[in-house]
Amino acid sequence: MNSIAFIDLSTRQVVVKSIPEKLRLQYLGGRGINMYLLYNYLKEGVDPFSPENPLVFGAGLLTGTHGIATSRFNISAKSPESGNLGDSNSGGFFGPELRFAGYDHHFITGRSPSPVYLWIHDGKIEFREADPLKDYNLPQTLDTIRAELGDQGAEVAAIGPAGRRLVVFSNVMCTIGNAAGRTGMGAVMGSKNLWAIAVRGKQPIEVAHPERLLEVVAKQYRQITQTKGYKATALYGTLMRLSIARTQGQEPAKNFQYNMLESGGEEFDPDVFIRKYEYGKMSCFNCPVHTKHLHRVPAGEHKGLTGAGPEYGGAGYFGSSCGTGDWVTILECWDLCNQYGLDILTTAGYIAWLMELYQRELIDDSMTGMPLRWGDHDAMTGLIHQMGRREGFGGLLSDGWQKANARFFGEKAKEYERYIPTIKGMTVDQDTRGTKAMAVGAATATRGGGCHLRSRFTMEEMDLPPEATKKIIGRPVTSDPDSYEGKAYPAIWMEHLCAIGDALGICRFVTKWLSPGLLGFNEFTETVNAVTGYDFTSEKLMEVGERIYNLERLFLIREGLDRKDDRVPERFHEPWQYGFQKGSCIEKEKFEKLLDEYYQEHGWDEQGIPTRETLERLDLAEEPSHLL
């Protein structure tokens, strides 16, 4: 326990190092220590598919401990999808078992000469032949490995056929419904011939104050399950967002061309989904919110199709963004992606892009081999098969949208970039035109796609009076989501909350990221101190969050990014057409002013580079410091 296993796949050498207390105090664990390791070990200019790209699996400091939703782990590396920071987070049970198996982080380098999977159990690390898995899809891979190891209690994180083929937006999954989706970590595993990691163990995680922890967790359990929103969250899971997006007029429709799908229909509703297709709910480790939907298609061409999902991203982006409200189409696309091991958001984003190009007659049947009309089920599933197999027209996207765009349009490629809404190289996961704090948080997010999990100040659209936000985050914020005023600080506050959540291994859905009544810095502090015996305060924790975020910023700068990359997609400068925020958009001048304010609040210069003073305050001035 409290150690990192450094595993070289080329030589099969393993070195185990203890995590120094300084690293725990400054970065906690999970995403925090992953980022530290990546920044220190990754050399400039490394190809994401080379053996030199370090792949880091990291469980949070609280992952696996008695607590609420203490399930999560991060996978980090240089990303083949964005070309910059690769970092993906997942729930399920792999994170906790990773720790019970004896280590907190796996730092993996090299490339195995033949396909392998790691079998890590009670401290022992074995390399097992993975080639027999080559014909299996991702869920089959999970089952087969468990069966082969003879242990149904083993947890497995694996790639599917797409990851084995190095499709740049391949994911890693550890249950039928939990994925480390974005930034192509599955492809990095594929490039290392590492097809899975299986973990199992009975190594206890030390708790400094067990009685205190029991009390703290009892309190938090009541806090979470007694909030007004708990019943709805427990019923709808992330599909809650579907209804909210529709009523607020934020439904991404036809590749973000519109903010509502007129033809969406009454069926495109989470209640319909639950009634017709859901057969149960699945939880992650230690979580009473159980948001994962277990679905089965009961009749028709796809009768008997089962899977876990969809999440809001799948429903919204295979749904309205691809011009359909048909659940069977959405479920089939979702399940196909999970079978191949393809990231849902990127896959759906690419399909919507292609449909828009087809709509604008910039690509045609002679290129695509099939009509790509909005909402066409056969087109959508056909493209997923092609992307996952690197075949046909869809296969042209397997190396990412930039290469496909260049290939389609040559000289006009740059001009036509505006048809695919991206931030920092990846398709976006939210439309932030009507919420300015979310917009600046997305534009500057240290993970591509304007990642809503890096910073999404959800309180912005809850119509909270400024006195209320002052109580929660320390400063009053106008209740008008369209206003730019004072929106930098809340975006940054949320960055810290998200970074700490990931460093601890706690799921967003039990925190103030979702709703003001849920867990925040005070609760995190109580739990951390009970488990570790440390003396954190909320302020000290916030500073850790700030440190992690600044280190990620340094990573991006080292990869050549700066102010020019902190932007919303061009399309977001055009106004919304529908709903009560009709007319909302991001105005360029006002956004630049907000960005200036954001940099100032962060202690960065006008290019968004952390100043020497900021780095010294956060003890980052000597990075890379090579503490390990």
Partner 1 sequence: MKRIITRAERCTGCRLCESVCALFNEKVNDPSRSRIRIVKKHSLGLSAPVVCHQCKKPSCAKTCPVEAIKKNPDGLVWIDQELCIGCEACVSACPFGMMIALPEKVVKCELCGGDPQCVKYCATRAIEYADAASEAGEKRLRNIASLNLPSHFVE
Q: Which of 12, 212, 281, 617 binds partner 1 (CB under 8 A)?
A: 281
What is the DSSP track for 555-586? Answer: HHHHTT--GGG----GGGGSPP-SSTTTT---
Cβ at position 538, least distance to partner 1 in Å: 24
Q: Which stretch binds partner 1 (CB under 8 A): 213-221, 349-357, 462-470, 612-620?
A: 213-221
Q: Which stretch binds partner 1 (CB under 8 A): 12-20, 41-49, 217-225, 592-600?
A: 217-225
Q: Which stretch binds partner 1 (CB under 8 A): 138-146, 489-497, 567-575, 614-622?
A: 138-146
Cβ at position 149, least distance to partner 1 in Å: 13
Spatial separation of the C-alpha atoms in residues 563 and 566, rounded to whole Å: 5
Q: What is the DSSP letter of 106?
A: E
Q: By C-beta, is 214 or 621 nearer to partner 1? A: 214
Q: Which of 111, 212, 276, 290 binds partner 1 (CB under 8 A)?
A: 290
Spatial separation of the C-alpha atoms in residues 470 and 29, rounded to whole Å: 29
Under the binding rule (CB under 8 A), the answer on residue 146 touching partner 1 is yes
Decide the pairing of beta strands 116-121 and 194-200. parallel
Under the binding rule (CB under 8 A), the answer on residue 234 touching partner 1 is yes
Q: By C-beta, is 290 or 390 nearer to partner 1? A: 290
Q: Which of 225, 483, 538, 577 binds partner 1 (CB under 8 A)?
A: 225
Q: By C-beta, is 70 or 430 nearer to partner 1? A: 70
The token pair that represents 464 in the structure block: 């909270």
Under the binding rule (CB under 8 A), the answer on residue 277 touching partner 1 is no
Cβ at position 68, least distance to partner 1 in Å: 8
Q: Are 610 and 616 in contact (CB under 8 A)?
A: no
Spatial separation of the C-alpha atoms in residues 348 and 116, rounded to whole Å: 30
Q: Which of 60, 95, 139, 160 binds partner 1 (CB under 8 A)?
A: 139
Under the binding rule (CB under 8 A), the answer on residue 64 touching partner 1 is yes
The candidate with the shortest Cα–Cα distance to 401, out of 80, 53, 75, is 80
The candidate with the shortest Cα–Cα distance to 341, out of 388, 390, 383, is 388
Under the binding rule (CB under 8 A), the answer on residue 221 touching partner 1 is yes
The candidate with the shortest Cα–Cα distance to 201, out of 92, 98, 107, is 98
Cβ at position 55, least distance to partner 1 in Å: 25
Q: What is the dihedral of CA 83, 85, 91, 96, to 10 degrees?
A: 120
Under the binding rule (CB under 8 A), the answer on residue 205 touching partner 1 is yes
Q: Which stretch binds partner 1 (CB under 8 A): 137-145, 331-339, 457-465, 614-622?
A: 137-145
Under the binding rule (CB under 8 A), the answer on residue 270 touching partner 1 is no
Cβ at position 256, least distance to partner 1 in Å: 32
Q: How many residues does the chain have?
A: 628
Spatial separation of the C-alpha atoms in residues 541 and 386, rounded to whole Å: 46
Cβ at position 67, least distance to partner 1 in Å: 8
CA distances from 621 to 427, 602, 615, 616 (A): 33, 15, 5, 5
Under the binding rule (CB under 8 A), the answer on residue 206 touching partner 1 is yes
Host H or E run for residue 334: helix 327-340
Under the binding rule (CB under 8 A), the answer on residue 306 touching partner 1 is yes
Under the binding rule (CB under 8 A), the answer on residue 142 touching partner 1 is yes
Backbone angles phi, psi at 196, to 5 degrees: -170, 165
Burial (CB count <10 Å: 0-12, 13-18, 19+), residue 583? exposed
Q: Which stretch binds partner 1 (CB under 8 A): 26-34, 136-144, 245-253, 392-400?
A: 136-144
Under the binding rule (CB under 8 A), the answer on residue 285 touching partner 1 is yes
Q: Which stretch binds partner 1 (CB under 8 A): 13-21, 107-115, 140-148, 373-381?
A: 140-148
Under the binding rule (CB under 8 A), the answer on residue 377 touching partner 1 is no
Cβ at position 117, least distance to partner 1 in Å: 17
CA torsion through residues 434, 436, 438, 443, sign: positive
Under the binding rule (CB under 8 A), the answer on residue 63 touching partner 1 is no
Amino acid found at 623: E
Q: Are 53 and 42 in contact (CB under 8 A)?
A: yes
**How many CA atoms within 13 Å lie on the side-chain side of 257?**
17
Cβ at position 52, least distance to partner 1 in Å: 35
Q: Which of 121, 165, 246, 292 binds partner 1 (CB under 8 A)?
A: 292
Q: Which of 3, 40, 243, 283 binds partner 1 (CB under 8 A)?
A: 283
Cβ at position 92, least distance to partner 1 in Å: 10
Q: Which of 138, 213, 459, 464 binds partner 1 (CB under 8 A)?
A: 213
The token pair that represents 371 in the structure block: 């009509």
207 in helix, strand or coil? coil
CA distances from 327 to 265, 385, 435 (A): 11, 19, 28
Positions of E strands within 381-485 = 422-423, 426-427
Cβ at position 62, least distance to partner 1 in Å: 10
Q: Are 578 and 549 in contact (CB under 8 A)?
A: no
Under the binding rule (CB under 8 A), the answer on residue 129 touching partner 1 is no
Cβ at position 459, least distance to partner 1 in Å: 25
String marking each residue 65-94 x if it binds partner 1 according to CB under 8 A:
xx--------------------------x-
CA torsion through residues 392, 398, 403, 405, sign: positive
Q: Which of 132, 210, 298, 533 binds partner 1 (CB under 8 A)?
A: 210
Under the binding rule (CB under 8 A), the answer on residue 100 touching partner 1 is yes
Q: By C-beta, is 308 or 355 nearer to partner 1? A: 308
Q: Are 262 and 577 in contact (CB under 8 A)?
A: no
Q: By C-beta, is 86 or 92 nearer to partner 1? A: 92
Under the binding rule (CB under 8 A), the answer on residue 289 touching partner 1 is yes
What strands, in cross-sheet order, belong to the sheet with 73-78?
Answer: 13-18, 3-8, 105-109, 55-59, 73-78, 85-90
The token pair that represents 229 in the structure block: 């929103």
How many of the chain's residues bind partner 1 (CB under 8 A)?
A: 43
Q: Are 499 and 32 in contact (CB under 8 A)?
A: yes
Q: Which of 77, 158, 179, 308 binds partner 1 (CB under 8 A)?
A: 308
Which residue's structure tokens are 């796609």? 449
Q: By C-beta, is 3 or 306 nearer to partner 1? A: 306
- Write the CB contacts of 600 (distance below 8 Å, at least 6 apart in sequence): 488
Q: By C-beta, is 210 or 466 nearer to partner 1? A: 210
Under the binding rule (CB under 8 A), the answer on residue 3 touching partner 1 is no
Residues that bind partner 1 (CB under 8 A): 64-66, 93, 96, 100, 139, 142-143, 146, 152, 175-177, 202-207, 210, 213-214, 217-218, 221, 225, 234, 280-290, 292, 294, 306, 308
